Amino acid sequence: MMNLIPKTLARLFNKGPKPDPSNAEELRLNFKSRYHHFKLLLNANNRCLEEMAEMEQALKGDKTFGMSFVRTCCTAISVNVLTMINNMEHLSPGKYPDLGPRFDAIRRELDRLLHPKARVQEERLVIPFDKINQEMANVVGGKMAKLGEIKNQLEINVPQGFVITATAYERFIHLNDLQDEIDTITQASGADDLKKLDIISAQIQQKIITASMLDGLETAVNENWNLLEQNVNRPLQLAIRSSALCEDSLDSSFAGQYRSELNVDQENFAQVYKEVVASKYSVQAMTYRLNKGFRDEDIAMCIGCMEMIDAVAGGVIYTRNPVNADDDSVFINSAWGLPKLVVDGSDAFDLLAVSRNQPFTITQRDIGEKTIRYRCSQGDGIEKVPVPEAHRTTPSIDDPTALTLARISLAIEEYYTIPQDIEWALSLEGRLYILQCRPLQQKKRTMPAPDLPGLAPPLLSGGITASPGTATGPVYRAIRDADILWFPENAILLVDQARPRWAPLLNRAAGIISEHGGFAGHLANVAREFSVPAIMNIQGALETLEPGDVITMDADTCSVYKGEQPAILAKEQPPRPSPMKQSTVFKLLEQACDLIVPLNLMDPDATEFRPGACKTFHDITRFIHERSVHAMFNFGTNNNFPEHSSKQLHYHVPLNWWILNLDDGFSATVTGPYVRLNTIASHPMLAFWEGFILVPWDGPPPVDGRGLMSVMFRSTMNPSLVPGVRSKYADKNYFMISRHYCSLNSRLGYHFSTMEALVSGRASEDYINFQFKGGAADYDRRIKRVLFIKEILETYDFTVTVREDTLTARMEGQGTEVLKTRLMILGYLSLHTRQIDMIMSNSRRVRFYREKIGNDIDERIIKPHFNKEEEHHG
């Protein structure tokens, strides 16, 4: 741009015939309208840059976001790029026909990314277990696909049943036009705002529960249900279990995040189906998906319907120790009654460890005091009942049953070749059933700390390591569901029972302490996934630990200490994963950014600076921005319209500064060739100018020998750079101004800079953009200079990037007063950093100039504008 503007300027001064006065009004109006389109274009450009910055920020990985964030960013950028193209068309009709096709091509790529992937074609709404295998995970969900596989391939006993497919789910959602509504509701909520999530979760679940049932689904379910009853020749109640797509993978178990309904009567099926589908939008499931970066549309809720086994005992088997990768024992967790008690961590249960080598032997036997059990109610549902006194401390399974369970589990582990987490039940008739199995993630055990002299004894010890590691933070006691809404970041969650409902806090909690539960519960499972240290089943925790008190917990030794204990925290920690970075949504954002953010069109003078060469949206915006400035400059000239041709700035004497008034940048009509400073009404230009003349320049810094040699060498290569030689590149500076806007293209000495600022009082739209490049010294010193300027600008809150010897600085979202002082700083730097590249290899001189500049800015610019010493944000 800077090379083209002088040519434009030369034309501006060509004296041609004055326009016909009858056309003057039309021209004036036309100019006004063009300026408005230019402003709309700049606004859109600004929005694009803001959205790009937000996307790049999200890619740093510390922000939790869902698909609505990705969609909203992509849509906003697409809209604004198209707005820029449309406004460019107003400024230069028909001049850039390739912009539209380039935009469309990139947008189609974006569409392809954002469009949910096509599902496997499957017409069946219901599929019996006999027909299910592992390959059908995308039709019946991972949980049921695995159950079908072990039934049909390993011939392991599982309850008889059938699955309601992903096809049924999609048709149900489509029939009720729910997806659009769900997307609309979720978009309104911030990803990590649990209070809002609580409200929208209730709204969405309500919509699903009151939706119409899918035609044909009830009939298909009834047919399959009746077939099951015919097989056993009696009425059957079923367990209705969620089996969502993407569930039960090694890294993402979704343990306990969705709803399952036990002992359901056929009459109530339709309602229960909708309730289980609705549980896809429970607070914990939505939080889990957000934290793990799953796309909502990728997760269809399939549902397993299986014969309800009213168990005499049940529980969970881990085929290896989840918190110690070196321990290969098989762990059988067992409780009286239904296995639910083990996974929801609400009471004590038994733990038997079995060695995996033949002959299997029981190597550990912890018999818990089991006070309650779950059983099937007479009608629908299940109930909690007390365990008779005599059975409380007796083992819930005998040794042969334990050994049979170990054998079955190891067969499953061998088949899948990785450790397994298996839910089982022993029926009243004495038959063993496998109800669910999923991969088990093992954690490397962190070593217990050596004896630490001087460490006070722990406040508490005992319990079970549910997830290894150490943590410190204030105690937060949660009792009711609503307590999660006020959970402070990095506190230690203290609960009575290790229920899955606390899972939404795992992204915020430093650690978990629970009076009940074990390492086999859903909460423990998810705590390990998020690498949050957890101690379960630690007695007296609720009584001993005071809410708000800072404690340190060591989950490896199951100890809790008063205060922050650096010696304990210094132990090697299991790495805390960033689930977002591995997730589908994150990868999608990365791919979308690749189409949007990279800037390839750097040099406006290069032959590749053309619409057809735009590879990204950023290239398009860069191209348009550059050309729109030209289009505005050219208009007055092309129409030979003196009112809108440039004037030379007269400040004591005529200066090499030319000003083009875009709209209301002059306070009075300027008829002659000069404009005086007191006629200029552009706030941003005046602020820049104030900084420029604030402290007189004391001439170029004394050049050291190496600096001078460098200039001599470059000058011989490029004669136009020799000082004193008049060339079209000699010092000239061009402002385009209106009352609230100014755009500066400047060449001072050997460096180019451009500055653009909108200071209208609309804080959300106002901005400053500054670009700086070049210099006379060698490359190394030029780089040092941009880094020198970068450091200064960053001190005053600019966002600065440096690419080779080009510096780009940006500021937005600030009030008028802050922007004004920043423009003054840019004005000041434009004068005082000229030729400073010459001394960049002399560190003593560099320090001197850094101090002088910092002092000038603070004393002469910042202090007079703010009462306090420095208020970067006004």
Q: What is the binding site for another protein (CB under 8 A)?
A: 22, 25-26, 29-30, 32-33, 36-37, 39-40, 43, 68, 71-72, 74-76, 78-79, 82-83, 86, 107, 110-111, 114, 180, 183-185, 187-188, 762-765
Q: What is the largest CA-CA distance in the chain?
A: 112
| CA pair distance 20, 16, nearest whole angstrom | 12
Least Å distance, CB 430 to another protein, is 54
How is 314-377 classified by DSSP, letter by letter?
EEEEESS-TT-TT---EEEEEEEB-THHHHTT-S--EEEEE-SSSSP-EEEEE-----EEEEE-
Nearest-CA neighbor of 555 among 441, 439, 454, 460?
460
Least Å distance, CB 203 to another protein, is 12
Element at 424 (helix H, strand E): strand 420-427
Least Å distance, CB 593 to another protein, is 15
Name the residue nearer to another protein (CB basis): 40 or 202.
40
Name the residue nearer to another protein (CB basis): 82 or 426.
82
Name the residue nearer to another protein (CB basis): 182 or 335.
182
24, exposed or middle or buried, with CB in 10 Å at 0-12, 13-18, 19+?
middle
Name the residue nearer to another protein (CB basis): 68 or 436.
68
What are the residues whose beta carbons fall under 8 Å from the beta carbon of 326, sequence distance 6 or more? 445
CA dihedral 557, 561, 564, 569 (to 10 degrees): -10
Which residue's structure tokens are 């050997």? 750
What are the residues whose beta carbons fall under 8 Å from the beta carbon of 831, sequence distance 6 or more? 692, 697, 748
Three-class secondary structure of residue 435 per DSSP:
strand
| CA pair distance 50, 71, nearest whole angstrom | 15
How many other CB atoms sit within 10 Å of the CB of residue 749?
Answer: 18
Name the residue nearer to another protein (CB basis): 388 or 761.
761
Name the residue nearer to another protein (CB basis): 188 or 456.
188
* Helix, strand, coil abundance in the chain, percent, nearest 5: 45, 20, 35
DSSP 8-class letter at 746 = E
Least Å distance, CB 670 to another protein, is 23
Least Å distance, CB 642 to another protein, is 19
Name the residue nearer to another protein (CB basis): 112 or 407.
112
Three-class secondary structure of residue 7 per DSSP:
helix
Name the residue nearer to another protein (CB basis): 42 or 491.
42
Name the residue nearer to another protein (CB basis): 85 or 498.
85
CA dihedral 852, 853, 855, 860 (to 10 degrees): 130
Where b means 16+ CB within 10 Å and e means fewer, 519-546 reads bbbbbbbbbbbbbbbbbbbbeebeeebe
Least Å distance, CB 289 to another protein, is 17
720, exposed or middle or buried, with CB in 10 Å at 0-12, 13-18, 19+?
exposed
166, exposed or middle or buried, with CB in 10 Å at 0-12, 13-18, 19+?
buried
Name the residue nearer to another protein (CB basis): 596 or 792.
596
Least Å distance, CB 86 to another protein, is 7
Least Å distance, CB 87 to another protein, is 10
Q: Are 799 and 53 in contact (CB under 8 A)?
A: yes
| CA pair distance 258, 424, nearest whole angstrom | 19
Name the residue nearer to another protein (CB basis): 86 or 497.
86
State both tokens at 769: 């953009």
SS (H, E, C) 652-693: CEEEEEEEEECCCCECCCCCCCEEEHHHECCHHHHHHHHHHH
Q: Are 563 and 552 in contact (CB under 8 A)?
A: yes
Least Å distance, CB 48 to another protein, is 13
Name the residue nearer to another protein (CB basis): 24 or 722.
24
| CA pair distance 635, 66, nearest whole angstrom | 46
Name the residue nearer to another protein (CB basis): 82 or 660.
82
* Cα R_g (the chain), whole angstroms: 35
Name the residue nearer to another protein (CB basis): 29 or 712.
29
Least Å distance, CB 630 to another protein, is 22
Least Å distance, CB 865 to another protein, is 24
Name the residue nearer to another protein (CB basis): 115 or 234.
115
Name the residue nearer to another protein (CB basis): 200 or 478.
200
How many other CB atoms sit within 10 Å of the CB of residue 255?
Answer: 23
Least Å distance, CB 663 to another protein, is 11
Residue type, 445: R
Least Å distance, CB 16 to another protein, is 21
Residue type, 751: H
Name the residue nearer to another protein (CB basis): 107 or 445.
107
What are the residues whose beta carbons fall under 8 Å from the beta carbon of 605, sequence distance 6 or more? 3, 4
Which residue's structure tokens are 């915020």? 508
Least Å distance, CB 366 to another protein, is 52
DSSP 8-class letter at 854 = H
Strand-pairing partners, residue 648, are 658, 674
Least Å distance, CB 26 to another protein, is 5
Residue type, 831: L
Three-class secondary structure of residue 597 per DSSP:
coil
Least Å distance, CB 118 to another protein, is 16
Name the residue nearer to another protein (CB basis): 103 or 772.
103
Least Å distance, CB 4 to another protein, is 28
Least Å distance, CB 186 to another protein, is 9
